[in-house]
A and B are shown apart, each in its own frame.
Chain A
Amino acid sequence: MGIFDKLKQTLKSSFGNEKLEESLSKTRRGFIDKVVDVFTGREIDDDFYDELEELLIQGDVGVNTSINLVENIRKRADKERIKTSDELKEIFASEIAELMGTEKTMLNLKENQLNIILVVGVNGAGKTTSIGKLTYKLKNEGKRVLLAAGDTFRAAAIDQLKIWGDRNGVDVVAHQEGADPGAVVYDGIQAALARKSDVLIVDTAGRLQNKVNLMEELKKIKRIIDREAEGSLSEVLLVLDATTGQNALTQAKLFKDTADVTGVILSKLDGTAKGGIVIGIKSELGLPVKLIGTGEKIEDMQDFNPESFVGALFSGMEDETNE
């Protein structure tokens, strides 16, 4: 059974998930149509590999990852004496699947204890919106959720989180604008422990990863969490804007170094959604994507499933093959 059949099966089993398919269809239209073009009925020559590399770069996969990926495919093609581009498709798909992994990485939430989720990211990545959607998702899974408004810097960020709290019917622990985020987190933890909440989601101010003082502030927040509720910090999630280019890798690296990020929320995937960035982050930093934002509505967030993600990426190609 070829990888495409396998992917197609995965696709069928995991795609009661229309929303993902719908949001990814844009990705396919742009990105995969071109992949198909490159792969269909072509002779394998230098131009072919150049075009493939360009295609990956265009998908924001990252220059290094793209070059390596193409190099691997080239080696395998030589070794396995593959002559036509159609045969190469499978190799390409399996190489990408390998980089992305096939394990579904879920949020690591423990039963019968407080789970703290710290949400970090650069300005405008979509932290507060993602928290609103994540709250809705966790509530639907039967969790008692509390929010802490740790973005005390940006104008009206606290109000923004409070509106999401109202929409979800959960309480928001907040101080005044300009207050110490550490103090907000402290109060949030005390409130969550007293109420026996299952999950406390902490919003933080957007910060560019090269602002050392602001990054140090994240460390302080983490220290407070460790001190006041040891063992409760279940996830540190980095929110990444899907439209971000190569800088996303630096973001992921520096936030991982300072705040021990455990996973990524890929936001705004409904827009341009090349998705390539995810491959780079997984393969170069080993950081899994755990959740994706696929729209502006409260229910537009879901678990990230690499297999169906890769499958969705290639479903356009699969159709082409069958025709």
Chain B
Amino acid sequence: MAFDGLSDKLQGVIKKLKGRGKISEAELKEVLREVRIALLEADVNFKVVKDFVKNVNEKALGQDVLESLTPGQHIVKLVNDELTSLMGGSVSKLDMSGRSPLVIMMVGLQGSGKTTSSGKLANHLKKQGRRPLLVACDVYRPAAVKQLEVLGKQLDLPVFSLGTEISPVEISEKAIAHAKEYGNDIVIIDTAGRLHIDEALMDELKNIKEKVSPKEILLVVDSMTGQDAVNVAENFNNLLDISGVILTKLDGDTRGGAALSVKSVTGKPIKFAGMGEKMDALEPFHPDRMASRILGMGDMLTLIEKAQTSFDQEKAKEMEKKMMKAEFTLEDFLYQMEQMKNMGPLDQMMEMIPGMNKAKMGDMQLNEKEMAKTQAIIRSMTPGERRNPSIINGSRRKRIASGSGTRVQDINKLIKQFSDAQKMMKQLSGQMSKAKKGGKSKIKFPF
């Protein structure tokens, strides 16, 4: 069920027109049809899509897409820019102004991820030096209070709860008093999941809001939500005038068109994205990256950022030097693999690269196992062996194999590959230095 990226699809359409360069108005219509389908496949609400495509059509006619010699790229860029600006342009932060304690209310449908997000948000604020108090107001779902308590314990943060017999309105009022007394500057209220059409429960939220006047009301939305995201967001916003959105489960493989739907019906910014099950997996929401994701165009920015945070810049330079001199050892190789792992699962990284999709990634899983195996082998070597693999004789190979739980053939293969790579680097560095003098070689780094 792998989606092809929009750019792939548009390329397909445009290929048909190739050789003629410019496209006609009728052909533009066909291209925009593909845009429409891509957005619908990404779960963007159909009404939102309709307006969007109309908008892009006008802009495309206004600008000179029809005159452009690369109309496909032109349109993709136009669509991408338009999506980004629709989703808010830049990162939007929490409003932290005003008197302490600041109250943040978490609302949403059942199973959207309110409790987990409450924990993550508290953790996020704690790291910024705040003293958040978590408040357990989900008195309906079995063990929801317990869930928040467990999260509080994990994060070493206080949780205010009064069991399940007291009304959520009363709990939140008492929580504020508690926060004042104990010096908590932020109060995060975890409310029960509810349907946007359940009037009684929606009224309860309204009552809580009136009593605690929250600075932020964050609607928690599952990024996998379909066409209905519009109705949910509209109802919650009409009743509560939400201040922002947290989009959850974005570490899944959904395109997340709900983001666009929610933003365009409420006009409220998406402030955070939930990216995993761990308590630190909450990231600021980047509209530009989300645009690329919805269009299936990959997310190079996140990838580069991840590389920057997980790679030690100094070390990287050193490594480059070593490679140039062909002094790259197995030890360096091991280090580099560890750095790669720091960036996250390989398949997740690959997905960020434009043009990569599930079909092309078939073997990724294997590679990750292969990588773990290689690591185990190198770790079973002595430092001397890592620096100078040529000393690894038969009996050493046997020892390394049993140490790493692999076979001698695996050791042979790795050493062979490594010495091949070394040879290649030598050749390359030779050519590179020549190129520097001559200045006209196109050889690029192997890594």
Contact = CB atoms under 8 A, between A and B. Distances in A.
B195 interface: yes
A254 to B, nearest CB: 8
Interface stretch (A154-162, A184-192, A230-238, A305-313): A154-162
Contacts of A164: 142
Nearest to A125: B111
Interface stretch (A11-19, A53-61, A79-87, A220-228): A53-61
Contacts of A122: 224, 249, 252
A274 B227 contact: yes
B111 A272 contact: no
Interface string B249-269: 101111101100000000000
B400 to A, nearest CB: 27
A58 B251 contact: no
Contact of A58 (B1, B46, B148, B197): B46
Contacts of A58: 45-46, 227
A59 B227 contact: yes
Nearest to B110: A268
Contact of B111 (A54, A124, A160, A247): A124
A155 B112 contact: no
B37 A63 contact: yes
A209 B254 CA distance: 10
Contacts of A272: 195, 197, 228, 231-232
Given A124-B112, A245-B225, A253-B1, A271 B197 contact: yes
A49 interface: no
Nearest to A166: B142
B146 A159 contact: yes
B43 interface: yes
B112 A245 contact: no
B249 A54 contact: no
Contacts of B142: 128, 132, 159-160, 163-164
B141 A160 contact: yes
A194 interface: no
Contact of B197 (A26, A54, A241): A26
A168 to B, nearest CB: 12
B269 to A, nearest CB: 22
A212 B347 contact: yes
B110 A246 contact: no
Given A271-B109, A272-B228, A274-B227, A241 B222 contact: yes
A115 interface: no
Interface in B198-237: 222, 224-229, 231-232
Interface string B138-163: 00111110111111001000000000
30 contacts: A26-B197, A58-B46, A60-B228, A63-B41, A123-B113, A125-B111, A129-B141, A153-B277, A155-B146, A156-B150, A159-B143, A163-B143, A210-B251, A243-B109, A243-B222, A243-B225, A243-B226, A243-B228, A244-B222, A245-B43, A245-B224, A245-B225, A247-B224, A247-B253, A247-B255, A268-B109, A268-B110, A268-B195, A272-B195, A272-B231
Interface of A: 26, 54, 57-60, 63, 122-126, 128-129, 132, 153-157, 159-160, 162-164, 177, 208-212, 241, 243-250, 253, 268, 270-272, 274, 277, 296
Chain A to chain B: the 8 pairs with minimum beta-carbon distance, closest first: A245-B226, A124-B111, A245-B43, A155-B150, A163-B142, A156-B147, A160-B143, A159-B143
